Amino acid sequence: MPRAAVVYQKDQPMKIEEVSLRPVAEHEVLVRVKACGVCHSDLSALNEFFACPTPVILGHEAAGIVEQVGSAVSRVAPGDSVVAAWSPACGQCRFCKRGRPHLCNLADDPISRAMDRVSAGGQTIAQFLGVGGFCEQTILADNAVVKIDPAMPLDRAALLGCAVITGYGAARYAAQVQEGDEVAVFGCGGIGLNIIQSARLQGASLIVAIDLDDAKLELARRFGATHTLRGDGADLHKALRGLTRERAGLDFAFDAVGNVEIARAGFLSIAKGGELVLVGLAHMKDKLSLSQIAAVTQEKVIRGTTNGSTDTWKTLPELIRLYQDRKLMLDELVTRTYPLDEVNQAMDDLRSGRNARGVIVME
């Protein structure tokens, strides 16, 4: 029986225990999980920043090897290397049909279709975002699994499934940063560092990284930041505007923390016609308050983005090519790997901001 890290109670350590998986259904895939990154969204589910049922297995940035497929599965076969897609795409709904699969109706609530695949002691256990990657084996829907190049190391490939696709896509596909643009990225964790490297690849001329941690700012420079600022400085928006051409303001400000104060500072720091891009998830009770007049008269855009506003099936091969051509930094994202038994330590290290990414690696 596979071992899993199960959350029974919010804000309490996960319990490592053996679990049972039910047989795969016709449209499902059984995957031997080899690696799963630890994302701030896992911590937010544990913290009740947003609602998530318990008991639950967290982890949604996973890669592994297909072991078994249901009778109706044609996309993957046993032995394939795969990355889990926490944002599934049905190919049928109006969003999928209009080229916006990241907004697929299935992605509204992927956990609701993943409540009965795993159990322990007679109790069913949910899989966070339909993935439940902190488990040695997992069952995924066939529209939530992406076949990848078998040459790709799985402890690196895992990160593509959330941190990289989200950050890379936020700059390339959501904001569509252009050559010469001036951008700032608040928060230099797994998501923010990937926004920074995507802005670099897009040719942004000014990339300001903002964080509370000096080591993260140092890392941000390696990923492409041209300037760094501490997030606890006074009048951040004035400092940011001061760095831009004619002190006019930024073309894009990205919130990769998930904090309404940061979103406000971002809104104040963008130029006329600029965009505030919201990537981080604030507490579910937080409300964002901004000047409506400024938004109207200065044509400021406020944009949310999920899953990098992109098609996972098209973008993962693009990311793998960039990594293999040494244009995308991936190895540098992994601060530390942990065995499954140390998943609580990995979560503590994320909470304290120690890691760019911590990755759970399974034999």
φ/ψ of 227, rounded to 5, equals -140, 155
Expressed in angstroms, the distance from the first to the final Cα of the chain is: 14
192 contacts ligand NAD (rule: CB under 6 A): yes
CB of 47 to ligand NAD, least distance (A): 10
As a whole number of angstroms, the distance between CA 211 and CA 232 comes to 8
125 contacts ligand NAD (rule: CB under 6 A): no
Q: What is the DSSP string of 63-85?
A: EEEEEEE-TT--S--TT-EEEE-
Q: Which does 189 bind (CB under 5 to 8 A by kind): Zn ion, ligand NAD, none?
A: ligand NAD
CB of 157 to Zn ion, least distance (A): 15
Chosen residue from 66, 191, 316, 340 binding ligand NAD by CB under 6 A: 191
CA neighbor of 345 nearest in space, from 38, 41, 3, 136: 38
Cβ-based nearer residue to ligand NAD, 118 or 162: 162
Q: Is 23 left (phi over 0), alpha (psi -120 to 50) or beta?
A: beta
Q: Which does 132 bind (CB under 5 to 8 A by kind): ligand NAD, Zn ion, none?
A: none
Of 19-27, 40-48, 242-250, 332-340, which part binds ligand NAD (CB under 6 A)? 40-48
As a whole number of angstroms, the distance between CA 112 and CA 260 comes to 28
CB of 106 to Zn ion, least distance (A): 6
CA neighbor of 267 nearest in space, from 253, 280, 279, 278: 253
Angle at 248 between CA 243 and CA 250, to 5 degrees: 65
96 contacts Zn ion (rule: CB under 5 A): yes
93 contacts Zn ion (rule: CB under 5 A): yes
CB of 211 to ligand NAD, least distance (A): 4
Instruction: Map the footprint of Zn ion across residues 98-137, applying CB under 5 A.
Output: 104
Chain residues in the site for ligand NAD (CB under 6 A): 39-41, 44, 162, 166, 186-192, 210-213, 216, 231, 256-259, 262, 279-281, 305-307, 350, 353
